Amino acid sequence: MHLSDVEAKKLDIKANQIRKDIIKMLVKAGSGHSAGPLGMADVFTALYFNVLNHRPKQPTWPERDRLVLSNGHICPVQYAAMAHAGYFPIKELSTLRKFKTRLQGHPHRAALPGIEVTSGPLGEGISQACGIAYAARMDKKKYNIYCMMGDGELDEGIVWEAFMFAGKQALANLTVIIDRNNIQIDGNTEDVMPLEPLREKFEAFGWYVIDIDGHNITEIIDACAEAKAVVEKPVAIIAHTIPGKGVDFMEYDFTWHGRIPKSDEAKIALNELRTLGGKIKSEHE
């Protein structure tokens, strides 16, 4: 379905709200990851507010699309998107990483309805997603499976076994969205373990590949629609993103992968995001 300019702007505003919540959550928690969650806010907004076939008030609805978060450390963006979508109260976001919270540092399936798999060790999510997709086809179910992955995670050998399996089995109900932000905890991906040519690698494994701007809501939604139309292969959407998107002093800086802003830095970040939100709203009006 075509997304109008007005609808796209509304989603841009929502993504900006989610980024502000991420900053607040991390500061309150006192630990966590900043760059990845901020960079994926547009993708998660597109998914939870347009792409996914889901029912927030019925999180175990059998026909729902499944979203598997493989790089679990970026879970603040998923939690924020879920809260805004109505899975749980937004005020609960302030409990991130607190004792007995449902919002753990990595998603825990048994703790929070709407979380499909427990994640933590990188590289495992795609294998879980392949299993869900294969089982869905065996059961003749029509729901789609989306697996979110980080590009640094592609250093793990297990992911390529899963990519081979998905290609061999032609799991057309499976879409992987790669956060191609070019950073990981030790530096830039191409310095740590070069991934390029990434598109050609997926294609060699029997995948259909789409490259997009991971901050363009319309492109994200269009790519997911294109993925649904592919009936003979699994789909890899390579979402080119900016780590720390929306906060100038975080953008492109790999050192923000696994740390949070101090209180004074958080104030600067929130002011930047408020200014950005104001610009989006004025353009919308």
| Alpha-carbon gap, residue 166 to 234, rounded angstroms | 7
State whether the Cα torsion 267-76-14-249 is positive or negative. positive
Residue 69: per-residue pLDDT: 98
What is the domain extent for residue 181?
A: 5-284
Q: Give me the helices (H) in 89-184, please.
A: 125-138, 157-169
Contact 231, 172 (CB under 8 A): yes
Is the pTM of the predicted complex or chain greater than 0.85?
yes
Q: Which of 77, 71, 66, 84 is nearest to 19 (CA)?
A: 77
Helix (H) or strand (E) holding 210, with range, is strand 208-213
Angle at 178 between CA 175 and CA 184, to 5 degrees: 155
Contact 130, 165 (CB under 8 A): yes
* 3-class state of residue 240 by DSSP: strand
Q: Which residues contact 43 (CB under 8 A, 6 or more apart)?
A: 148, 177, 179, 214, 220, 239, 241
CB atoms within 10 A of CB 268: 15
Residue 280: per-residue pLDDT: 86
Identify the CATH number of the domain in which residue 62 sits. Answer: 3.40.50.970
Residue 1: per-residue pLDDT: 58
Q: Tokens for 79? A: 């939690």
- pLDDT tens string 170-194: 999 999 999 999 999 999 999 999 9
| Alpha-carbon gap, residue 119 to 138, rounded angstroms | 25
Contact 174, 147 (CB under 8 A): yes
The CA distances from residue 48 to 19, 83, 94, 97, 101, in Å, are: 15, 10, 20, 22, 22
CB atoms within 10 A of CB 4: 10
In this prediction, the residues of the chain whose per-residue pLDDT falls under 50 are: none
Q: Which of 130, 185, 153, 175 is nearest to 71 (CA)?
A: 153
Residue 81 Cα to chain centre, angstroms: 10
Q: Tokens for 19? A: 């980024």
DSSP 8-class letter at 47: I
Q: Give backbone dihedrals phi and psi of 104, rounded to 5 degrees, phi first.
A: -75, 170
| Alpha-carbon gap, residue 22 to 19, rounded angstroms | 5
Residue 282: per-residue pLDDT: 75
Structural domain count of the chain:
1
Give strand pairing partners of 177: 148, 237
